[in-house]
Amino acid sequence: MIRVGLAGIGFMGWIHYLGYQRASGVELVAVSEPNEKRLHGDWRDIKGNFGPPGEIVDLSRVAKYADYRDMLADPNVDVVDCCLPPAMHAQAAIAASQAGKHVFCEKPMALTTGDCREMVQAASNAEKQLFIGHVLPFFPEYAHAIQLIRSGQYGKLLGGTFKRVISDPAWMTDFWDPNRCGGPLIDLHVHDAHLIRLLFGMPSSLSSVGRLRGEVVEYCNTTFHFTDPSLVVSAVSGVINQQGRAFTHGFEIHLEKATMHYEFAGFSDKGELMPLKILTADGQVVRPEIGGGDPSEAFVDEIAEVVKCIEAKEPSPTLSGDLARDAIILCHKQTESVKAGGVVKI
Ligand SMILES: NC(=O)c1ccc[n+]([C@@H]2O[C@H](COP(=O)([O-])OP(=O)(O)OC[C@H]3O[C@@H](n4cnc5c(N)ncnc54)[C@H](O)[C@@H]3O)[C@@H](O)[C@H]2O)c1
């Protein structure tokens, strides 16, 4: 049984907690959180944009610490699950590695590429694993697309376009601060940057055109360039000012013998889904049965991947620190390209 200590009981701490209740081979043994009410199990003030609202949780059999740093000395904790605000990730993950723990850290890995590199190094020095919670590949539409690409059933991967656009999250006070949250690319587009890196490898250069808000990119279109010049990969990312569409994400992925299409948009009156479709060369529209509907399911699968890799003593091909570091590198290169104009080498 792998024993987890949860650092930070906010929205993600709650979603991970729900995941631990359903995943096998793993047990929550400790929590850390400075908010007294939450530390003692009253999670009713936790709200997010998916999953159930927070509840009263029984923490009577779980060790409690007011600060994650105090939890690091707990010998019962094998894995520190870092659900802290983004600016705390690097410091917490490095300290947890140095304390001899495996680390499972929410995205974004860290705000700077230097911090990401230090996190990878600290885990490697400690001979412990580092997982970054890039959950997107575990969402059913994305998981199905990845599995079809890898199966080779529809031939070579030719490219794709990836979209992730939200309305201005005015309730997030730190969102636009490069030193606290990182803005739309680091906080949001990082999911697609990670997916692009996972599917196509590391681009050799990129070119982004966009609008800035202060130091960070508000909205941009990016073309990613690879050593294989036949790969055509792009992304649309960022924030629009209108509140009518809170969130949209999706993709169109091109293979030699099929195109895969998916999009979901949360409009202020209702959500609208364009379910995953596979358009084949002979004119068929295949609509795979993939289940889903509850995004918190993906977190159960993500935790299962962490458990599997710790038990196998193998790094995760999906959640590794190396991939997540590369995603942060891409986001910063995109910002550089928007500011400088033109192609930026990676
Ligand atoms: N994967 C996803 O889909 C997804 C969705 C939302 C958020 N996130 C990421 O999850 C992370 C956390 O986001 P959130 O929305 O849960 O934030 P949050 O602010 O709701 O929760 C963070 C919690 O950490 C606690 N904390 C602060 N200092 C602490 C300390 N020293 N020791 C222990 N706890 C401490 C805070 O009190 C707070 O309760 C962020 O990196 C965010 O980007 C990921």
Q: What CATH number corresponds to the domain at position 214? A: 3.30.360.10
Closest CA to 22 of 52, 43, 66: 52
With contact defined as beta carbons under 8 Å apart, do 138 and 319 qualify?
no
Find the domain containing 239 and state its range: 137-293+327-345
Q: Is 32 in the pocket of ligand 1 (CB under 6 A)?
A: yes
φ/ψ of 23, rounded to 5, equals -80, 155
Average pLDDT over residues 131-147: 97
252 and 306 part of one domain: no
Regarding whether 286 and 202 lie in a shared domain, the answer is yes
CATH code, domain carrying 32? 3.40.50.720
**CA-nearest residue, atom 6 of ligand 1:** 12
Q: Is 30 in the pocket of ligand 1 (CB under 6 A)?
A: no
Burial track 89-126 (b if 16+ CB lie within 10 A, e otherwise): bbbbbbbbbebebbbbbbbbbbbbbebbbbbbebbeeb
Residue type, 18: L
Q: Which pLDDT tens digit goes with each residue over 271-282?
A: 999 999 999 999
214 with 339, same domain?
yes
- pLDDT, mean of residues 228-253: 95
**Is residue 165 lining ligand 1, measured as CB closer than 6 Å?**
no
Local structure of 258: helix, strand or coil: strand
pLDDT of residue 265 exceeding 90:
yes
pLDDT at 293 over 80: no
Query: Residues 127, 196: one domain?
Result: no
Beta bridge partners of 95: none
Q: How many domains does the chain have?
A: 2
Burial 55-67 (b: 16+ CB within 10 A, else e): eebebeebbbbee
Which residue, chain included where needed, has tokens 């050593």? Answer: 227
Judge if 110 and 158 occupy the same domain: no
With a 6 A CB cut-off, is 133 part of the ligand 1 pocket? yes
DSSP 84-123: S-GGGHHHHHHHHHHTT-EEEEESS--SSHHHHHHHHHHH
Residue that the structure tokens 């948009």 belong to:
265
Closest ligand 1 atom to 187 CA: 43
C-alpha pair distances (Å), 90 with each of 75, 179, 321 = 22, 12, 12
Tokens of 255: 């293979």
Specify the pLDDT at position 216: 98
- Residues 119 and 160 both lie in one domain: no
What is the predicted pLDDT for the residue at 134?
98
- Give the model's pLDDT for residue 282: 93
Report how far ligand 1's centroid is from the alpha carbon of 12 (Å).
6
**What integer is the mean pLDDT of 243-252?**
94
- Nearest atom in ligand 1 to 86's CA: 41
Q: Can you give the pLDDT at residue 170? A: 86
CB 85 less than 6 A from any atom of ligand 1 = yes
Q: Are residues 219 and 129 in the same domain?
A: no
- Is 50 in the same domain as 173? no
Element housing 328 (H / E): helix 321-340
Q: Which amino acid is at 32?
A: S
Atom 26 in ligand 1: residue holding the nearest Cα: 8
Question: Is residue 47 classed exposed, middle or buried when 0-12, 13-18 and 19+ CB atoms within 10 A define those classes?
Answer: exposed
Q: Residues 138, 107: contact at Cβ < 8 Å? A: no
The minimum-distance atom of ligand 1 relative to the CA of 38 is 39
Residue type, 173: T
Taking the C-alpha atoms of residue 72 and residue 182, their distance in angstroms, rounded to an integer, is 27
The CA distance from 144 to 17, in Å, is 25
171 pLDDT more than 90: no
Distance in angstroms (rounded) separating the CA atoms of residues 43 and 16: 13
Name the residue of 106, 111, 296, 331 to mutate for ligand 1: max ligand atoms within 8 A of Cβ: 106
pLDDT the model gives residue 154: 97
Residues 250 and 118 both lie in one domain: no
Decide if pLDDT at 292 tops 80: no
- Per DSSP (E only), the strands in the chain are 2-7, 26-32, 63-65, 79-82, 102-106, 130-133, 157-167, 205-213, 216-225, 232-240, 245-255, 258-267, 271-280, 285-286, 343-345
| Residue 17 sits in the same domain as residue 141 | no
The reply to whether 341 and 276 lie within a common domain is: yes
Mean pLDDT along residues 14-28:
97
- In terms of domains, do 289 and 146 share one? yes
218 lines ligand 1 (CB under 6 A): no
**Ligand 1 centre and the CA of 11: distance in Å?**
7
Write down the pTM of the prediction: 0.97
Say how many Å lie between the CA of residue 284 and the centre of ligand 1: 44
